[in-house]
Chains A and B, each alone.
Chain A
Amino acid sequence: MALEVGLAVLILLVFVAGLAWRGQDKRRLGVLVAIGLAVLLWMSFRVEPGAALFGGTFVQDELAIFSKRLFLLATILGVWASLSLRAPTFARRATEYYVAMLASLLGMLVLASARELILLFVAFELMSIPLYVISGFRKREEEGVEAALKFFLIGTVSSAFIVYGLSFVYGISNTTDLAGVAAALQDGHPLLILGMMLTLGGLGFKIAAFPFHMWVPDTYEAASTPFVAWLSVAPKAAGFVVMFRLYLEGVGAPVILWVPVAAGLAAITIIAGNLMAIPQQNVKRLLAYSGIAHIGYMLIGFAAVSASGVAMMLFYLVAYLFGNMGAFFVVEAVAQSDGSEAISAYRGLAQRSPVLALCMLLFLLSLGGIPFVAGFWAKILVFQAAAEQGLYWLVLVGAILTVVALFYYLLVAKRMYIDAPERTQPVPVSPFLALSIFVCVAGVVGVGVYPKPLVMAALRAASGLF
């Protein structure tokens, strides 16, 4: 509980500090937030897995701790990069931005530990609602409002799906405790399966699997980039943790039920995400669609329904965190300098700012799955887990679509390295963004060169589920 309490204290602190702050520019509050989160991250490495609290509804197991570190790391990066935002609205209302972000983070932390349906749902909503608020943060701009509304409507509908599904689950199993639900699954009552499938559909909206992905590109395009970087990673990771808890933990033999559904969902998400990314001209939309494809790759690990599958999904999430957030941060840097998020803005970036271009190249290669950057191991390990389950066709689909992914990543690389630049002056990068990008590069390369510790940690985190 220490982390959650600590975070709640931090939220209050930020709130009060925001009220007490003199002056119009409240962006520097973010430093306080980042420091607070860093302390929490440090604490999370001191936390030992402990006994369940509140009659088994709140557990602090290896999986919970692993995912909490991931959420905290993503949020620190997101908050730190947000410090570079320069819009006046943002400066004036920074308190709201940070408090909403932290509230959502609190939801994620609780979610990672929740082993009971009601708590699970409450935490889920606590995570989701602030996200709607922040994506509509630029309320004077039409696209911002549209994107937020779209996100909100789809999000609430999916929440309704989840609750509706869970009501079936409760109706059959007569308990809200997840261990009880797992026990009820052994009989395989059709209504229970139906409930679980409905819930899976709802979760599909949250993690943005095809065909539940429509909100993603619009929301990503309209919302502020550092927030999008965070949005593309942390809430999705939380969605996956819920899936582990609901569908895999302690279920035993009936997990086989989910294999065809998960494998089908994974395959179609990978295919659709990658193909739809090809015609994109806006980098944020490109990353949005490629992000959908990555969700598909992670679902491969879910389809493997094994401890190694879950572990490799967690590994994938970390690799995706560094690669995807890093790429979004570079997008923000270029957008701040040139005012454009189009792919054509990257012309000749390698000659204008060689270091920034190299960072972007590393992120793209990591997302594409090339050796010596993190994404390579992530893809291969997920494939390996699926192969152990005998899903060779899925591996083949995934591997071939990787080629498509590299096609559009390389188109960006082509702009950066092969085309001649339109302007000559280098892209100025604010120190906040620079540090965030540096952390992401270090992560991508570090995990890529020496994956062993992370693999071990992921395997440990997943070991308790089966």
Chain B
Amino acid sequence: MKGFPTLSVITWAPFVGAVLIMFLARHRPLLVRWIALVSTAVSLALSIWIYATYEREAAGFQFYEELSLVPPLGINYQLGVDGMSLLMVLLTSIVIFAGVFASWTVKERSQEFYALLLLLVTGVFGVFVSLDLFVLFLFYEIAVLPMYLLIGIWGSSGEVRPQGIFGWALRRTGVGTKEYAAMKLTLYLLFGSAFILVGILALYVASGSSSFSFLEMEAVRFDPVVQSWVFLAFYVGFGILAGIWPLHTWSPDGHASAPTAVSMLHAGVLMKLGAYGFLRLGLGLLPDGAMQWVWLVGTIGCVNIVYGALSAMAQTDLKYVIAYSSVSHMGVVMLGLATLTETGLNGSVFQMFAHGIMTGLFFALVGLVYEKAHSRAIFSMGGFGQMMPGIATAFTVAGLSSLGLPATAGFVAEFMTFLGAWQSAYSWWLFPGVLGAFLTSVYVLRVAKQIFWGPKSADPHFQHLPDAQGPEWVALVVLVGVLVLFGVAPGIAIGPVDTATMPLLLRLGVLP
């Protein structure tokens, strides 16, 4: 398929789906779902195809496409994938494919829901495949904005507290409501994007070339002072999206308020945008800045791991538990990046994938449980394992992956990351990491025991609940299958990822 714009098709297929849904499927909910399904299936099929045909020996960026957008300003539509982005594209297409099934039962205004969801996915794909920094930023913004409406309209109002540095401004949107969570999330992420923008413009000016192309900037050795502060700008900007402490408070609120598919996509994929952007632009373009600041990145990563896990232990709302566990796991990702070792970086990228699938599965399950039992309060539920064995099994698999049991993807990722931490210049990072894994097993097993495997609740509402049905099974089977497959055969993912991390480490000068 030489000359076929594969990456563009992957990126824009959901967008085309969104447009078709808006114009063709008014008041026809089933057609809406089929269009969404077909458009995401196209992306999924092509993602698997590029994953299979990516030439590992050649490495570098492949499936390259270029189109000139604004030539006098050096803005080009430039796409390409290497081993890392390949895995992220695959992750995105799997999660959204499952997400379409998981939200099959959305009743209210489903046409707009699916259209916005697909628009969001276009933005996510775009960030992973674009090689032009400007286009990357453009897609990044698209990935953030639909979230506001998705959470604001279809979210659920829960117990949301006004926290964080924007608490005062957000009081106007109504504290404790989905509108509040939506606004908080949007503003935090856009606040981050302001830093990213400044960083990108600074690199553009400092590189002296008239192009935003990543490939050209990669060849430039920037001034160490510029590197230092641009690195921090990228760290704050992308870090907010990756949920770094103490700028993570948008994420539990947002995830807990969002509808199922949006939580899946957001925790599963969007937070990875932050980590990926940080890895690609922060570590990839600014080696000196990275060397100077990794101690901060890694240490905050450790804080994330432990703090997130402790917060998750204290929650009584099922969705908040999963949301805080995301904060904890993203800490593992950032820790892995900060190790600057081959094992650590591979582990970190693998953790992005593993956590994306796992947390997607978690949120899908929480959504299903809520739909059947209309409750998210952990301690009022009990003994669901007898009534919904399928959901219970899937939850347990996700939980075991979360705490890092061998034969699941989570194990491979955490093991490699912690090994990398031990090999790095700051070997004490290992201990908070392992402590976090231990705490994870406490809160995950506690939740699994209480809801699914413990004694049955006496509450009359929780009798005779059905198991997953029809399309919902597809989401569960796909996600559980991927989780186990990559746990048993991690080489499928590590191989291509390694081709991308090696040149990066060479540029950083940490390889002999």
Residues of B with C-beta under 8 A to A140: none
The A contact surface, by secondary structure, is helix
Q: A387 near B169 (CB under 8 angstroms)?
A: no
Candidates A380, A400, A411, A417; contact of B149 at CB < 8 Å? A417
Nearest-Cβ distance from residue B76 to partner chain A, whole angstroms: 11
Identify the closest chain B residue to A456 (Cβ). B72
Q: Is A264 an interface residue (CB 8 A)?
A: no
Q: A411 near B197 (CB under 8 angstroms)?
A: no
Chain A CB within 10 Å, residue with most, of B69, B187, B190, B205: B190
Q: A392 near B183 (CB under 8 angstroms)?
A: no
Q: B194 near A381 (CB under 8 angstroms)?
A: no
Query: Given A407-B187, A410-B148, are A417 and B194 neighbors across the interface (CB < 8 Å)?
Result: no
Residues of A with C-beta under 8 A to B186: 406, 410
Residues of B with C-beta under 8 A to A413: 148-149
Interface residues as binary, A404-440 with B (CB distance below 8 Å gives 1, 0 otherwise) = 1011001101100110000000000000000000000
Candidates A403, A411, A414, A451; contact of B70 at CB < 8 Å? A451
Candidates B141, B183, B204; contact of A410 at CB < 8 Å? B183
Stretch at the interface among A90-98, A183-191, A211-219, A368-376: A368-376
Q: Is A388 an interface residue (CB 8 A)?
A: yes
Q: Is B202 an interface residue (CB 8 A)?
A: yes
Candidates A403, A451, A459; contact of B190 at CB < 8 Å? A403
Cα separation A395 to B205 with both chains bound (whole Å): 13
Q: Is B73 an interface residue (CB 8 A)?
A: yes
The B contact surface, by secondary structure, is helix
Q: B73 near A370 (CB under 8 angstroms)?
A: no
Residues of B with C-beta under 8 A to A410: 148, 183, 186
Chain A CB within 10 Å, residue with most, of B70, B142, B186: B70
Nearest-Cβ distance from residue A384 to partner chain B, whole angstroms: 6
Residues of B with C-beta under 8 A to A404: 169
Q: A452 near B69 (CB under 8 angstroms)?
A: yes
Query: Given A371-B141, A406-B187, are A395 and B201 neighbors across the interface (CB < 8 Å)?
Result: yes
Q: B70 near A455 (CB under 8 angstroms)?
A: yes
Residues of A with C-beta under 8 A to B169: 278, 404, 407
8 A Cβ contacts from A299-349 to B: none
Nearest-Cβ distance from residue B415 to partner chain A, whole angstroms: 39
Residues of A with C-beta under 8 A to B179: 414, 418
8 A Cβ contacts from B278-336 to A: none
Q: Is B138 an interface residue (CB 8 A)?
A: yes
Residues of A with C-beta under 8 A to B378: none
Candidates A370, A372, A403, A417; contact of B152 at CB < 8 Å? A417
Chain B interface category by residue count: 20 to 34
Q: B194 near A402 (CB under 8 angstroms)?
A: yes
8 A Cβ contacts from B133-163 to A: 134, 137-139, 141-142, 145, 148-149, 152-153
Q: Is A66 an interface residue (CB 8 A)?
A: no
Q: Is A205 an interface residue (CB 8 A)?
A: no
Identify the closest chain A residue to B140 (Cβ). A371
Residues of B with C-beta under 8 A to A384: 73, 201, 204
Q: B70 near A406 (CB under 8 angstroms)?
A: no
Residues of B with C-beta under 8 A to A456: 72
Query: Given A365-B145, A376-B138, are A403 and B194 neighbors across the interface (CB < 8 Å)?
Result: yes
Q: Is A399 an interface residue (CB 8 A)?
A: yes
Q: Is B172 an interface residue (CB 8 A)?
A: yes
Nearest-Cβ distance from residue A410 to partner chain B, whole angstroms: 6
Pairs across A and B, CB under 8 Å, 12 listed? A278-B172, A371-B142, A372-B138, A380-B197, A399-B193, A400-B191, A406-B186, A407-B187, A410-B183, A411-B172, A414-B173, A456-B72
Interface residues, chain A, CB within 8 Å of chain B? 278, 365, 370-372, 376, 380-381, 383-384, 387-388, 390, 392, 395-396, 399-400, 402-404, 406-407, 410-411, 413-414, 417-418, 451-452, 455-456, 459
Other than the given A395-B197, A417-B153, 12 more pairs (CB < 8 A) read: A380-B137, A384-B204, A387-B198, A395-B198, A396-B194, A399-B193, A399-B198, A410-B183, A411-B173, A413-B148, A414-B179, A417-B149
